[in-house]
Chain A
Amino acid sequence: MTQNPVLSINDLSIEFPVYKGAVKALNGVSLHVNEGEIVGVVGESGSGKSVTSMMAMKLLPEGSYRVTQGDISILGTDIIHASEKTMRTLRGGDVAMIFQEPMTALNPTRKIGIQMTDVIRLHRRLDNDAARQLAISLLKDMHIADPESTLQRYPFELSGGMRQRVLIALAFSCNPRLIIADEPTTALDVTVQKQVLMLLKAKARELKTAILFITHDMAVVSQFCDRVYVMYAGSLVEAGSTRQVLHAPRHPYTRGLMAALPELATPGSQLQAIPGNVPDLSRLPAGCAFASRCPSRSDKCNQKPVLTSIHEATTHQVACWHPALQEELAV
């Protein structure tokens, strides 16, 4: 699995300076996405998944954040020290992004066709007609019934699912090597979500595009991703193949999260909630961030655990001093 990574983040820490202190949004996050791989990042709100994706594209407002350590590289380009000009050629070209809310990602005052040809012509040397033809074929791939007339419409005339499919078509328009999808289906209904995810996956496999898939939905991850990272309070707590992490979780947080899902519980029974709340990111404990809610904490948890492989011959990594023993959850 050590092929050439499209995206690699090494030991990245980011904080947002606030009044009297700083919110430590990311604390030593290391992740990589290989060519053609679909990698999921799951976590609850405030765990730092969106900051990771925004930082990878350098979309956070300049001056609002401080990189305290670490680096990011996309296709060999150092993102943290890259100029805005370099970033602009990268974004939408080699790396594309799909956002959660398709209504705010499209310009409401311009027709779909103009928005699509603009992006295509910005990155590719095509004339207007060729760009239009390309847009039509991309929309066809996304199973949009009447692409010619869709190009003539405004975003508000399309349904949520259609808008998201337009955005996916747009993301693939310049044959990107990496797509960062930040909760692309959270705003959609399940039947539409299924269609959008299947189209996204099929197209990514066809073009060998890697996807970094940010979500909070464990079930979507299990169907969609090859590998998964679990985040908690700005740190990675577990990583590995989807099957390993979701079906044999070792970190107490991942286990707690899986046990809290109503999908797996007997109807009407007591759900196993994780006690307590997520720690305040501006006052993180020195040791393991999960220790205060953890059933198996000890004195050793006052030191911060690092992400290490469970044993030599596996990609399953966990950041815990007391990982659970090898036992499959009844899934």
Chain B
Amino acid sequence: MTTMPVLSLKDIQVRFPVNPDWRGRPRQHVHALNGISLEIAKGETLGIVGESGCGKSTMAQVLIGLLQPTQGEMTLSSGKSNGKGGMQIVFQDPQSSLNPRLPVWKIITEPVFAAANRKVDKAAMRELAQQLAAQVGIRPEYIDRFPHEFSGGQRQRIAIARALAAEPDIIVLDEPTSALDISVQAQILNLLAELQRSRQLTFILISHNVSVVRHMCNRVAVMYLGQIVEIGDAAQVLEHPAHPYTQLLLASVPTLESVQDESAVPENVELPSNRVLPTGCYFKDRCPSASSACLQPQVLKQISTQSQEHEARCHLAHPD
């Protein structure tokens, strides 16, 4: 990476205590994130894909500061002097992430309201809300309405306007379109792309939908059991996956062209438990080409022969 990273994560680990004994001491831990190291450059869109239980949402919570990592450090090297900058999040479900009792203008300006310690001018706030609403495609005269008066796509627009109100550098998008219909999804993705261009935003897009990630992202990180198993240039990772898990994931995504191959039903599609982590490679129990070398823990290594970045956590991955 050539530019200075705006955000860097170093060996982030998150464990949740579970199953307490009679004195309340945890007997086990859920290992949600197991050593995530990432650097995010300004203006890029990093996609994070993976299946449920791989730690995507824990990652979003760590990024936004809702959750303190058990170990590791996160540095945000942007914070402007006036208190703006920083990170905002757009959640998956616009129904539950908007306060049903607040009018839209209050929802949109809430980050400013909170940052200014409630000392804000109402007229200025309303004006700000009108500007932001217009930018995300909500008619400015609707800002006195309540969230229930809007459709799902419009609510997601309001959530985006709220994220913009704090003038962040980075917006974490946690499954921003998975609750929306296809035609509305296209509208929201277009809006996000346009806002990124006009405001030089950095996006971290967390999604299980590979085609959304392919469409939106410059870089992609594939997660499995709390680790990044493959990371690199989006076209490179999604067209020439090197890690067996990425290959499996991409082969499972239904496409319009191909007809389902009816011969081989995939077996063993379950994720291993994250209570007791597997030794060695986390994917070895499901991997078609597992061997004795997979008993060793794997590290992320550079595999691309060209200049672009492409790393995979597998000893079998070779530059192609």
Contact = CB atoms under 8 A, between A and B. Distances in A.
Given A223-B254, A263-B211, A194 B266 contact: yes
A219 B254 contact: yes
Nearest to B257: A331
Contact of B186 (A191, A218, A262): A262
B256 A257 contact: no
B262 A202 contact: yes
B252 A262 contact: no
A264 B51 contact: no
B208 interface: yes
Nearest to B255: A219
Contacts of B99: none
A194 B252 contact: yes
A32 interface: no
Interface string A160-198: 011000000000000000000000000001111111011
B190 to A, nearest CB: 5
Contacts of B210: 190
Nearest to A202: B262
Of the four ranges (under 10, 10 to 19, 20 to 34, 35 or more), the interface on chain A belongs to 35 or more
A220 B254 contact: yes
B256 A260 contact: no
A208 to B, nearest CB: 15
Interface string B248-260: 1100111111111
Interface string B231-268: 00011000000000000110011111111101001110
Interface residues of B, number: 41
B259 A223 contact: yes
A18 B285 CA distance: 54
A40 B254 CA distance: 15
Contacts of B189: 262, 271
Contacts of B21: none
Given A161-B270, A262-B215, A193 B190 contact: no
B214 A218 contact: no
B56 to A, nearest CB: 12
Contact of A262 (B153, B212, B234, B267): B212
Interface of B: 51-52, 151-153, 181-187, 189-190, 193, 208, 210-212, 214-216, 234-235, 248-249, 252-260, 262, 265-267, 269-270
